[in-house]
Amino acid sequence: MRRPIIAGNWKMHKTSAEARRLITDLKQLVGGAQVEVVVCPPFTALAAAVAAAAGSNISVGAQDIFWEDEGAYTGEISGPMLKELGCRYCIIGHSERRQYFGETNATVKKKVQAAFRSELTPIVCVGETLAEREAGQTLEVCRRQVEEGLGDLTPEQVARLVVAYEPVWAIGTGKNATGEDAQEAIGYIRERLAAMYGREAADKCRIQYGGSVKPENIAEFMARPDIDGALVGGASLDPISFAAIVNTAAED
Ligand code: 13P
């Protein structure tokens, strides 16, 4: 039985003071939820977020990681640094990083290895663009991202991994995928993982849907057999809407 996981990707929003306030409010609202709750603030607010979340069931994740543990890489942040701060998760390969910062399946793969080296759980994002969907390439794009970005892992690592299927056209547009479309892609991703690492590991891997998730549509995704939660952008910036998503997912 996979434990659902709802993660909030705050992107480039919230100062440390704002992070502290949001998490303090969130703690009151998601008390005993039966789902794993993760917040991913910007690097600068991670320490404040970890302190604010202490003693609650809210975990903290970073939005990126560099693939080396230390060295002359100006501006980068490594796994040991994130681990020391108290992070447990790390988003890798978000479509905005692929689009604006040149990330590829090859860099995703190196970052996934780095996260596991530092005992951080990667949340690896995959998903097609609108042009790719319209060209009927959705599953092919997901296949490549999974095979190239998630190669050379052990079955044990795959069992701990989180994958987020985020169709690029659904991110920040208010236009979410249907539960049926998301299930099709996510079921396919699980089959690819089973082909690569065995059924047992693939069945343990949690796969989220992301893209315009709101309190009103989370149930549609949670009802699908292969969807284990959500990666939430905009709606995670408000404690009431994020808590509503978490608590609805917990009812499922
Ligand atoms: P929105 O929920 O704002 O569409 O963002 C989704 C996302 O990119 C989460 O990583």
pLDDT at 33: 66
For the segment 64-74, what is each residue's pLDDT rounded down to a tens digit? 999 999 999 99
Catalytic-labelled residue, pool 103, 128, 166, 220: 166
Burial class of residue 150 in the structure, from the number of CB atoms within 10 Å of its CB (0-12 exposed, 13-18 middle, 19+ buried): buried
Pick the CATH number of 5-251 from 3.40.190.10, 3.20.20.70, 3.40.50.10540, 3.40.50.12160: 3.20.20.70
235's enclosing H/E stretch is: none
Sort residue 14 into left (φ over 0), alpha (ψ -120 to 50) or beta: left
- CA–CA dist 165, 94 (Å, integer): 10
CB of residue 210 inside a 6 A radius of ligand 1: yes
pTM over 0.95? The answer is: yes
Domain boundaries, the chain: 5-251
Calculate helix-pair angle for 138-149, 179-197, nearest 10 degrees: 40
**Residue numbers in the chain where pLDDT is lower than 70:** 31, 33
CB of residue 64 inside a 6 A radius of ligand 1: no
If one counts every other C-beta atom within 10 angstroms of the C-beta of residue 74, the result is 4
For the segment 220-238, what is each residue's pLDDT rounded down to a tens digit? 999 999 999 999 999 999 9
**206-210 and 121-126 as β-strands: parallel, antiparallel, unpaired?**
unpaired
Catalytic-labelled residue, pool 36, 94, 128, 220: 94
